[in-house]
Structure 1
């Protein structure tokens, strides 16, 4: 299965993210000191924050599998990427019907390859991260809104 016609391309997602107020987009590459497996991945920080200050991103876009670690979404398929968003414990519960602490018991309930569906993150769900493989009309707008919420939550925490 490759990217479906009705989902957003990576460029379309980046354009939507780029239109958000207060988000700094950082693309990993050889010049950033990122490991080669992460080249092309995107890290989204609140404006004013950047990777060198060691803050955690509010969202990421992963463009390929991390062998031996994060392969459940099968991101090495043509045109496939995954948008990941830190939503916090309460919002995670609102979105998925259970808390991040309950994900281990439900991990096998999900097809992490499914596109345009909000899912718990296959690796970081316990830390209150959600993900969407190739967002589109079904949940893309929600995903973009969740990035804005993550930014606001980060700003409130200082």
Structure 2
């Protein structure tokens, strides 16, 4: 899967706001070329929440283990939560054994090298082995973000009637 295919897939989910920082827009240079996905049906960037998924194209400070400095390397990061994290890694978030896989290995679902303890999974250059998995994980993270948004907005109970 390409970065554009992933962005297009997530953009197709309801209520998604995709931010793509670029030169001249006031965002930090480290974020240029990346993509950040929020559940924001009103189109307004949430101020009190993190994205439910990101695509990063370069190593960040303290986050060099994925070796994104290689040509055409990128990493999809997904806030999956405890249950999916445990299902994929065989360990609870924060368990050091969950981080045993090489974070630079392509086309492999791994504990996020920095945010694994918070239940984030990641895939460097998703391909044939992880394409379906990453789409499923992105959909799950989207549903979790939508539920969190609805709880905060008080719309979950109205929607069930």
Q: Same fold (TM over 0.5)?
A: yes
Whole-Å Cα distance in 1 between the matches of residues 141 and 66 of structure 2?
23
Unaligned runs of 5+ in 1: 1-7
**SS of corresponding position for 1:51:** coil
**SS of corresponding position for 1:53:** coil
Aligned residues: 148
> Do residues 136 (structure 1) and 127 (structure 2) align?
yes
| Higher alpha-carbon Rg | 2
Scaled by the length of structure 2, the TM-score of the pair is 0.83
**SS of corresponding position for 2:106:** coil
Cα RMSD between the aligned structures?
1.8
User: Structure 1 residues 81 and 149, CA, compared in 2 at 3 Å: closer, same or farther?
Assistant: same
Q: Which has the higher contact order (CA 8 A, sep 6+)?
A: 1
Unaligned runs of 5+ in 2: 152-161
Scaled by the length of structure 1, the TM-score of the pair is 0.84
Tell me the equivalent position of 2:57: 63
Q: Is the 8 A contact 2:107 2:127 kept in 1?
A: yes
Tell me the equivalent position of 1:4: none
Tell me the equivalent position of 1:75: 68
Shift in Å, 1:105: 4.4
Whole-Å Cα distance in 1 between the matches of residues 111 and 101 of structure 2?
8
